[in-house]
């Protein structure tokens, strides 16, 4: 098997449909979320920002002026549960730390910020399969507000 064959979608035995790899599904879900947010007046600042061991999926300016750190979770199966529930407390802490590094590196301090989650269900049409949760979690003292000294 060649690398190209291994990277192409494989048919599901039970349905004959193709499915995406985990990474492809994540990229597609992120693109759907980005397009959905842009249509609603958000402005993209950064995408896939890495800092240490974490990553910010989307950093966007919300229409009301907040800087929104957006975690995108994508489901490609209807039986996988709610993608928004996959943002565990551990993942929230990681997002907070990456957001803090992002703000320190860019000299951003005194402005409204928030943490959002966008759940994308790829089994539904894109206009129905996106759920945006603004202010999905509040930063705690162990994450975003932690001292880097």
The domain spanning residue 77 has which CATH number? 3.40.1350.10
14 in a structural domain: no
pTM > 0.85: no
Whether 10 is covered by a domain: the verdict is no
The domain tally of the chain equals 1
Q: Note the pLDDT of residue 17.
A: 41
What is the pLDDT at residue 20?
A: 62
Tell me the torsion sign for CA atoms 106, 109, 110, 111.
positive
Q: Which domain holds residue 26?
A: 20-137
Does a structural domain hold residue 149? Answer: no
Average pLDDT, 10 consecutive residues per value, the chain (149 residues): 38 41 79 94 96 91 95 75 74 90 88 91 79 86 44
Model pLDDT, residue 26: 74
Flag whether 113 is in a domain: yes
């Amino acid at each position: 098997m060649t690398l190209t064959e291994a990277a192409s979608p494989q048919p599901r035995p039970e349905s004959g449909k193709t499915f995406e790899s985990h990474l492809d599904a994540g990229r597609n879900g992120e693109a759907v979320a980005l397009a959905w947010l842009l249509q609603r007046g958000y402005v993209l600042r950064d995408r896939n920002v890495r800092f240490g061991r974490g990553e910010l999926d989307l950093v966007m300016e919300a229409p009301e002026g907040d800087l929104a750190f957006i975690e995108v979770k994508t489901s490609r199966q209807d039986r996988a549960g709610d993608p928004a529930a996959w943002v565990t407390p551990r993942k929230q802490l990681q997002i907070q730390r990456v957001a803090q590094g992002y703000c320190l590196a860019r000299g951003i301090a005194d402005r409204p910020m928030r943490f959002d989650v966008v759940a994308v269900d790829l089994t539904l049409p894109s206009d129905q399969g996106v759920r945006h949760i603004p202010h999905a979690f509040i930063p705690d003292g162990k994450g975003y507000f932690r001292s880097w000294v």
